[in-house]
Structure 1
Amino acid sequence: MRYLRVLLLFVLLLALAGCGQGGEQRGSETGKAADNTIVLAAYRHLAPGEKDGFYCSRILNVWEPLITVNEETGEPAPCLAASWEMQDEGRVWVFRLREGVRFHDGTDFTAQSVVDNLTWMGKAVRTSIFYLHNINLYYPHLERAEALDAHTLRLTFSQPNINQIYNMMNFGSAIYAPSCLADDGGFTGTALGTGPFRIAENVKDRYVVLERNEDYYGEKARAQRIIVRSIPSADVRFAALKAEEIMGVMDISAMPPVLADELAQDERFAVSVSPSIMVRYLAFNGKKPPFDDVRMRRAVSLLLDRRQLVDALYLGYAQPTVNILSVSSPFYRDFPVVQNVAEAKRLAREVLGDRRMEIVYMVNGADPIQKGEAELIAYWLAELGLDVRIEALEQAMQLAALRRGDYHIARAQQGLPNGDPIYIFEAFFMPKGARNKAMSLGYENPEVQRLLKDLSTETDPAVRRAAFDRLQEIGVEDQPVAPLYFDENIVVYNAARLTGYRALRYGVSLAEVGWR
């Protein structure tokens, strides 16, 4: 085990060394930053712009939701909505909105603003690099949105919707100034929210400049100006931190554990960790052999030594799981993580007999951890009669290949856009679910369809929780995907120069970050 861990870390470091994109990315994208400007970095561009359903990520603190999440419990918490009340068994929800709030364009945030946002959201389903922007996902069976007065909103649904508050957490109730909403369901220009930061400049795939919102209703951001650079390569982010060209990293996959561990040895840097909303998993192409057979999917899941993967590649910064629902969900249920190599081989023999089969294992070429992980899993899969060919693709090519079904196994990840588990179950388990279709999972189960149909009208909390438990059980039994682990949100920052920098479930405490 010790030898294997050292070997895997060596493979990972080699992969990181091969991912560099040249020193030209290490300078500031806007020239030398002013003294009041903090420069950070993420592996992807966090403000993809007008064509993205959300324009920018929640973690930039530009837009705010009506309902956010309690960092400690994962339960719904007030944000732009100060309080709420369920009426008529969930057919009606009334929200009392926060007063004294203004959008970045200077207009007042009111109940009518929310009505305008919901009307705009209903005009089109828009894709996003974050989560699908679809009113039917977050407000199922919505009939009317009404402004009862300047700060009271009423939502009326055609069916009981007892989980509506969970639907609306974070990405489920993003609110923008009506002036930036286009008639086609997109944006007319830069997104204008109510958050502690406004977007001053946005250059796609290079950087986004945030400026403090001086009219913010709450405690103002500590930093006057923050630049968030897009640096896909982990080793370039590492080098930029060491050279103090950036002061910290943020977003998912901010820094591989092995590099975070190395930076922690330098007295300038600190590592902050928080439970993450992300689940890492293996997707199976269930539309063609051998993974159209549940026995082979179970065989792979039983074969995997998830603890070994976590210890070797994540240095313990993750938790093994067989459940696709994030541990961040208040409805999450824990299941034993079982490894049984003998049973895995028996199931594989039932499917393949004495044959061997070549399969394509697809990974994101920009993620060095996926590459090291794939090498080990490929070695294990040989015991099942599967000869693995690893294909490392850039993200856009990978997404296209998944939809076409040009793969057998693919490494992927899933976050939690809000607190409602139905989002996850419908996406992965329903025949027309977004993930099911986009990844060619080919998964169907009549019991799942019946449970989800019943949940659309069920109001008894105990019955609903029992249904959520059963859906998670079915996912573990059928393994349409093989969950691997929940990773932790690991962020690294220059503690000698910054204060207030800490990891959250999603992102960092950006508004609290400032110079020492």
Structure 2
Amino acid sequence: MRLPARFVPLTAVTTATSALLTGCFSAAGPEEAGSEGKRIRVAMMQPPRSGLSPLSDDAFKLSRWSTAETLVKLDAEGDARPALATEWKRSGKTWTFTIREGVTFHDGTKLTAAAVVNSLTEAATASPKPRILDGVDLKAKADGDTVTVTTAVEDPLVPQRLSSPQLSILAAKAYEGKTVNPLGAGTGPFELTEVNGTASAALDRYDDYWGGKAKAPGIDVKYVPDGTARAASLRSGEADIVEAVPVSQAAVLDQDLITEVPMPRTNTLYLNTEKGVFKDASLRAAAREAVDAESIVEGVYEGRADVAEGLLGPALPWAAELRSPLKRAEAGDPDGEAITIGTFTDRAELPEVAATLQQQLQKAGFKVKLDVREYANIESDALAGEFDAFILSRATVLDSGDPAAYLYSDFASDGSFNISQLADKTVDTAIDQASDTAAGDARRQAVIEAEAAVLTTDAAVPMLHERVIQGDAAGVVDAAHDPRERELVTADTYVK
């Protein structure tokens, strides 16, 4: 039995091999003169893919380092809260945001409504657009100390969209040329001062930060894609904060240094409803009944995950309270039907999940073949419906902090990530209803009704909800433990 790690409930979230690592960090870590403390050494999983452009997924690195900020932040419930905007109001298709006074960019220029409009316009007119604006026609205009944001159709989620790190507000100098360069262009407590390609980055404290001086003098980042090496950096004392500790390595670390946080990411078996064996609803039901998620959680994830009760997990604490029992189809007899299950190697646990599922489905009467590749080499086949089933670890709140976008993308008839090839009018209606409902309790109820509509089809069999496993050295104080992985080092984080 594994020793218990720290487990952070959602209400508390965001408040508070050695040879492979040779040369990653200095043994003791650089210190500032005087009593200001140590710089924070961070080992991150993935190197930047787009030169740290905020218009890409690299934006989440800028957010986790507290260098780039957005107009709005999200609380634990996914509701919008002030950041660079202090307040907002809606009138039909138009939202008006009041811009915070007294904010400067790291290059010394002032945050103005015009600067905000410049950043939002660059994002809205980019090709391709940031994912958060996929299908959204957004225009921004400055008016004194306010910014009006208008969409082509009424969108109740505009504030949540503007919380996405991909819509960070940067100084005008960041947008010179064809790329977006965040170096010295943010508004956060730390200034990005050095970028060394896919090897490392450095940030220094920005003493004129509008929210107060950060407690740490700076951050030194190393990219360590190998999970064993990242874990070893914590064990050896070469890193202070280690993100995305693999399940296989968590057990061999000092459990006092490990924190697990419910994550809005579901490991799901998508079943092809358009063609092949699983076009038959009774055989989808047979597959659903054959899946033993508890044994996958214990055997593959060593208990460091949560058995799924639905598509939305404990990272959305309101979901379980709103669910009602479902009426499901009766299971048919697989009778030796042959199926191919695809998955990818990029997430270390998925090939083992696939092997376990293969055994479970074969026991139920299916003949199962596995096709396991790198994600870049398998995504197009999955989206084209080339598999009978596909195992995917999928974020369920995407960039807006709201699950309706995920439900639309994955299960609407014209969804862009519809691996199940699902085309169901009841599902479409339920998802549209959720998407059109204003943020708050009514929207959450509509989301759960859309989830129920999807689950009734057995187009997707949710198996488990993953956890963020983060390593913090003994001297680290107030590192963020964020299920959305938007925060890591904040102004309050320091090393003793």
Q: Post-superposition shift, 1:244?
A: 1.8
**Matches of 1:182 and 1:432, distance apart in 2:** 36
Q: Post-superposition shift, 1:287?
A: 4.9
**Matches of 1:359 and 1:367, distance apart in 2:** 19
Shifted more, 33-42 versus 234-243: the winner is 33-42
Residues 121 and 247 (structure 1 numbering): CA distance in 2 closer, same or farther, change over 3 Å? Answer: same
Please tell me the residue identity of whatever aligns with 1:69.
L
| Aligned-partner SS, 1:473 | helix
Q: Which residue of 2 aligns with 1:394?
A: 374
Q: Which residue of 2 aligns with 1:256?
A: 246
Alpha-carbon deviations, 1:130-182, whole Å to 9, x = none?
xx535355xx454x422221x21222345433333333333464222232125
Are residues 1:245 and 2:238 paired? yes
Residues 50 and 487 (structure 1 numbering): CA distance in 2 closer, same or farther, change over 3 Å? Answer: closer
**Matches of 1:141 and 1:326, distance apart in 2:** 31
Q: Which residue of 1 aligns with 2:175?
A: 181
Are residues 1:490 and 2:469 paired? yes
**Equivalent of 1:135 in 130, 133, 136:** 133
Residues 276 and 461 (structure 1 numbering): CA distance in 2 closer, same or farther, change over 3 Å? Answer: closer
**Equivalent of 2:90 in 82, 86, 90:** 86
CA contact (8 A) 1:206 1:229 kept: yes
Residues 161 and 32 (structure 1 numbering): CA distance in 2 closer, same or farther, change over 3 Å? Answer: same
**Matches of 1:277 and 1:377, distance apart in 2:** 22
Residues 189 and 275 (structure 1 numbering): CA distance in 2 closer, same or farther, change over 3 Å? Answer: closer
CA contact (8 A) 1:363 1:390 kept: no
Q: Which residue of 2 aligns with 1:433?
A: 415
**Matches of 1:166 and 1:240, distance apart in 2:** 36
Q: Which residue of 1 aligns with 2:451?
A: 472
Are residues 1:70 and 2:75 paired? yes
Residues 373 and 466 (structure 1 numbering): CA distance in 2 closer, same or farther, change over 3 Å? Answer: closer
| Aligned-partner SS, 1:367 | coil
| Aligned-partner SS, 1:82 | strand
Q: Which residue of 2 aligns with 1:170?
A: 164
**Equivalent of 1:317 in 296, 304, 310:** 304
**Equivalent of 2:422 in 434, 443, 452:** 443
CA contact (8 A) 1:46 1:56 kept: no
**Equivalent of 2:106 in 104, 107, 118:** 104
Please tell me the residue identity of whatever aligns with 2:143.
L
Alpha-carbon deviations, 1:73-97, whole Å to 9, x = none?
332211111112223xx43322222
| Aligned-partner SS, 1:368 | coil
CA contact (8 A) 2:45 2:227 kept: yes
Shifted more, 375-384 versus 399-408: the winner is 399-408
Are residues 1:56 and 2:55 paired? no
CA contact (8 A) 2:323 2:448 kept: no
Q: Which residue of 2 aligns with 1:226?
A: 219
Q: Which residue of 2 aligns with 1:515?
A: 495
Q: Post-superposition shift, 1:465?
A: 5.1
Normalising by structure 2, what TM-score? 0.82
Please tell me the residue identity of whatever aligns with 1:81.
A
**Matches of 1:226 and 1:264, distance apart in 2:** 24
CA contact (8 A) 1:276 1:506 kept: yes
Alpha-carbon deviations, 1:350-385, whole Å to 9, x = none?
xx5x33415243232x43322332222111010233
Q: Post-superposition shift, 1:502?
A: 4.2
CA contact (8 A) 2:53 2:180 kept: yes
Q: Post-superposition shift, 1:234?
A: 1.9
**Equivalent of 1:116 in 104, 115, 118:** 118
Please tell me the residue identity of whatever aligns with 2:200.
Y
Residues 273 and 457 (structure 1 numbering): CA distance in 2 closer, same or farther, change over 3 Å? Answer: closer
**Matches of 2:441 and 2:41, distance apart in 1:** 48
| Aligned-partner SS, 1:238 | helix
Residues 411 and 61 (structure 1 numbering): CA distance in 2 closer, same or farther, change over 3 Å? Answer: farther
**Matches of 2:458 and 2:214, distance apart in 1:** 44
**Matches of 1:49 and 1:332, distance apart in 2:** 37
Normalising by structure 1, what TM-score? 0.79
Residues 146 and 331 (structure 1 numbering): CA distance in 2 closer, same or farther, change over 3 Å? Answer: farther
Q: Which residue of 1 aligns with 2:191?
A: 198
Are residues 1:363 and 2:344 paired? yes
CA contact (8 A) 2:184 2:193 kept: no
CA contact (8 A) 1:27 1:245 kept: no
**Matches of 1:462 and 1:488, distance apart in 2:** 25
Gaps of 5+ in 2: 3-16, 32-37
Residues 272 and 387 (structure 1 numbering): CA distance in 2 closer, same or farther, change over 3 Å? Answer: same
Residues 233 and 295 (structure 1 numbering): CA distance in 2 closer, same or farther, change over 3 Å? Answer: farther
Q: Which residue of 1 aligns with 2:9?
A: none
Q: Give the superposed CA RMSD.
A: 3.4
CA contact (8 A) 2:309 2:462 kept: yes
Alpha-carbon deviations, 1:105-146, whole Å to 9, x = none?
22211211221122212213437xxxx535355xx454x422
Q: Post-superposition shift, 1:492?
A: 1.3
**Matches of 1:112 and 1:328, distance apart in 2:** 36
Gaps of 5+ in 1: 6-19
**Matches of 1:191 and 1:357, distance apart in 2:** 56
Shifted more, 225-234 versus 154-163: the winner is 154-163
| Aligned-partner SS, 1:86 | strand
Q: Post-superposition shift, 1:100?
A: 1.0
Q: Which residue of 1 aligns with 2:143?
A: 148
Are residues 1:40 and 2:45 paired? no
**Matches of 2:366 and 2:53, distance apart in 1:** 41
Q: Which residue of 1 aligns with 2:7?
A: none
**Matches of 1:462 and 1:187, distance apart in 2:** 38
Q: Post-superposition shift, 1:25?
A: 4.0
**Equivalent of 2:481 in 473, 488, 503:** 503
Q: Post-superposition shift, 1:249?
A: 0.9
Q: Post-superposition shift, 1:314?
A: 3.4
CA contact (8 A) 2:39 2:220 kept: yes
CA contact (8 A) 2:190 2:206 kept: yes
Please tell me the residue identity of whatever aligns with 2:154.
P
Alpha-carbon deviations, 1:162-210, whole Å to 9, x = none?
33333333346422223212576x4156483212222223334322222
Q: Post-superposition shift, 1:66?
A: 1.2
Q: Which residue of 1 aligns with 2:401?
A: 419
CA contact (8 A) 2:86 2:97 kept: yes
Residues 183 and 27 (structure 1 numbering): CA distance in 2 closer, same or farther, change over 3 Å? Answer: closer
Residues 310 and 116 (structure 1 numbering): CA distance in 2 closer, same or farther, change over 3 Å? Answer: same
Residues 199 and 244 (structure 1 numbering): CA distance in 2 closer, same or farther, change over 3 Å? Answer: same
Please tell me the residue identity of whatever aligns with 1:84.
W
**Matches of 2:272 and 2:437, distance apart in 1:** 33
Please tell me the residue identity of whatever aligns with 1:174.
S
